[in-house]
C-alpha cells in the first residue's frame, strides 16, 4: 500500500507531505514539552488547560454524572503521542503517553460512568501502548474496558447502547424513548476495542458482539444513498426499531458530516476485522457520498451535507476522520480502485491545511474549524480547535508516509 501511494502522489503532493511532516515534528515536540501529561480538549488563548472542556465541563459537573477523567475524548492526546513515538522513537512521547494513561485508568474505577465511547479512551492509550511495547498492565486495563463496553450490549436489539441516562443528552437529542434503547453511529469506532479483545484473548464473544452491532448499524443507521443517520432508537425490551431522530446534525433525515466519517471509517475497520464484504461495500458507499458532497465545497467539510446553504458552518473533525477512513479503504480494494480514495484523502487534508491549520509551535493545537454539533446556541462549539482533529490529521499524515501505528 505504501509503495502504491508513493507512485500515485504527484511531485507537489510529495513536497507538501514532506514539508507538513517537518512542521509536525517541530510543532509536536514543543507541544509535548508544554502539555506533557495534561489531558487537553480545546485551547483557550492558544494554550491547552488540563481537563478543560468549556461549557461541556460545566454541564457535566452540574449533572454530577461523570468525572472529567472519564470524558470521551481523553484518549486522543495519548494517541497523538503514540503516533509521534512510532514515527520518531523519541522517548518523551512515550513517557507522556504513559503518564496520561495512568490518569485515565480511573475510568475503570468509575466504570458505571464510562459510556459507549470507552473505546475512544482506551484504544489510543492502553491498546496503543500494548501494541507498541507489550505492556501487560495496559493489556489488562484495556480488557477491563472491553468488558465494560460488551456489558452495554442489548441482545434483543443486537446493539450497544449509547450514552448513559442523562437529562442533558435527552434534551439535546429528543426524548420519547428510554436511553437504554439508543444506538449511534459513533460507536462503530469503539467496537474495534472488542475485536482487539477477541484477538488478544482468543475469546470470540467480544467480536460476536461487535459484529452484531455493526450489522444493526448497517440495517438501521446506514442509508441506501450512502448517507447515514446519527441515531437509531429501539424498544429496549423487544429490540423493535422505533425511529431515527436527527441528533447532532441539522435534523431528521440530514447528513451530519462527522457521523458520515464515523461510518466511513468504522465500516472499513469492521471489514478489516471480520472479512465481511458487506461492511466494505457499506464503507465504500458512504465514502462515495462523502467524496461527492465535499467535491462541491472545495474539499472543505460542512457540518451537515444535507442542510440549508446558509449559514455556512464547517467541521474539520469530519474531514480528518474521513481522510483516515479513505486510506483504510484504499488498503482493502484492488489496485485500480485505490487512486480514488487516496487522492480524495489528500484533497481533504490539503484543503484543511490551507484554511484551518496553524503550525506555529508556540500555539497549542494544529487544526481549527471543528464543530461539535450543528445547533450551537452560543457558538462556543462552532469552528474551534478540537483535539481529535489533530489526532486524525497526524494518523492520516503518517499513513501516507507508511509509518503510522495501527491503533484501531
- Which positions are annotated as active-site residues? 117, 186
The CB-based long-range contact list for 61-67 (8 Å cut-off, 24+ gap) reads 63/166, 63/167, 63/168, 65/113, 65/164, 65/166, 65/168, 66/110, 66/113, 66/164, 67/106, 67/110, 67/113
* Alpha carbon distance 245, 259 (integer Å): 13
Phi then psi for 44, rounded to 5 degrees?
A: -115, 130
* Alpha carbon distance 118, 68 (integer Å): 13
**Contact predicate 1/336, CB 8 Å:** no
**Contact predicate 335/327, CB 8 Å:** no
SS3 83: helix
* Alpha carbon distance 83, 77 (integer Å): 10
Q: How many Å separate Cα 161 from the centre of its chain?
A: 18
CA-to-CA dists, residue 211 to 117, 159, 275, angstroms:
17, 10, 11
Amino acid at each position: 500500500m505504501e509503495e502504491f501511494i508513493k507512485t500515485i502522489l504527484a511531485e507537489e503532493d510529495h513536497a507538501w507531505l514532506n514539508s507538513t511532516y517537518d512542521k509536525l515534528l517541530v510543532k509536536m515536540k514543543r507541544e509535548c514539552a508544554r502539555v506533557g501529561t495534561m489531558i487537553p480538549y480545546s485551547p483557550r488563548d492558544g494554550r491547552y488547560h488540563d481537563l478543560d472542556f468549556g461549557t461541556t465541563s460545566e454541564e457535566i459537573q452540574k449533572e454530577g454524572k461523570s468525572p472529567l477523567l472519564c470524558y470521551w475524548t481523553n484518549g486522543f492526546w495519548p494517541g497523538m503521542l503514540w503516533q509521534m513515538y512510532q514515527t520518531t522513537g523519541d522517548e518523551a512521547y512515550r513517557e507522556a503517553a504513559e503518564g496520561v494513561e495512568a490518569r485515565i485508568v480511573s475510568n475503570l474505577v468509575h466504570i458505571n460512568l464510562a459510556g459507549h465511547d470507552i473505546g475512544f479512551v482506551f484504544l489510543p492509550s492502553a491498546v496503543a501502548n500494548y501494541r507498541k511495547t507489550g505492556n501487560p498492565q495496559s493489556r489488562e486495563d484495556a480488557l477491563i474496558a472491553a468488558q465494560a463496553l460488551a456489558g452495554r450490549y442489548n441482545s434483543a436489539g443486537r446493539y450497544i447502547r449509547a450514552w448513559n441516562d442523562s437529562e442533558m443528552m435527552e434534551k439535546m437529542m429528543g426524548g420519547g424513548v428510554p436511553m437504554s434503547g439508543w444506538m449511534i453511529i459513533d460507536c462503530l469506532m469503539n467496537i474495534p476495542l472488542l475485536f482487539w479483545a477477541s484477538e488478544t484473548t482468543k475469546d470470540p464473544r467480544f467480536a460476536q458482539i461487535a459484529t452484531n452491532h455493526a450489522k444493526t448499524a448497517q440495517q438501521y443507521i446506514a442509508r441506501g444513498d450512502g448517507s447515514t443517520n446519527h441515531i437509531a432508537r429501539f424498544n429496549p425490551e423487544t429490540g423493535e426499531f422505533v425511529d431515527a431522530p436527527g441528533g447532532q446534525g441539522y435534523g431528521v433525515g440530514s447528513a451530519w458530516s462527522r457521523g458520515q466519517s464515523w461510518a466511513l471509517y468504522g465500516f472499513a475497520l469492521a471489514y478489516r476485522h471480520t472479512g465481511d464484504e458487506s461492511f466494505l461495500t457499506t464503507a465504500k458507499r458512504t465514502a462515495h457520498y462523502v467524496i461527492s458532497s465535499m467535491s462541491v465545497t472545495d474539499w472543505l467539510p460542512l457540518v451537515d451535507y444535507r442542510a440549508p446553504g446558509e449559514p455556512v458552518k464547517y467541521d474539520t473533525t469530519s474531514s480528518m476522520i474521513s481522510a483516515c477512513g479513505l486510506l483504510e479503504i484504499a488498503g482493502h480494494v484492488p489496485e485500480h480502485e485505490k487512486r480514488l480514495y487516496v487522492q480524495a484523502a489528500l484533497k481533504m487534508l490539503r484543503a484543511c491545511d490551507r484554511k484551518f491549520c496553524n503550525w506555529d509551535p508556540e500555539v497549542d493545537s494544529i487544526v481549527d474549524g471543528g464543530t461539535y454539533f450543528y445547533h450551537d446556541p452560543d457558538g462556543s462549539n462552532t469552528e474551534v480547535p478540537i483535539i481529535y482533529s489533530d489526532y486524525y490529521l497526524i494518523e492520516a499524515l503518517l499513513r501516507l508516509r507508511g509509518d503510522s501505528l495501527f491503533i484501531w
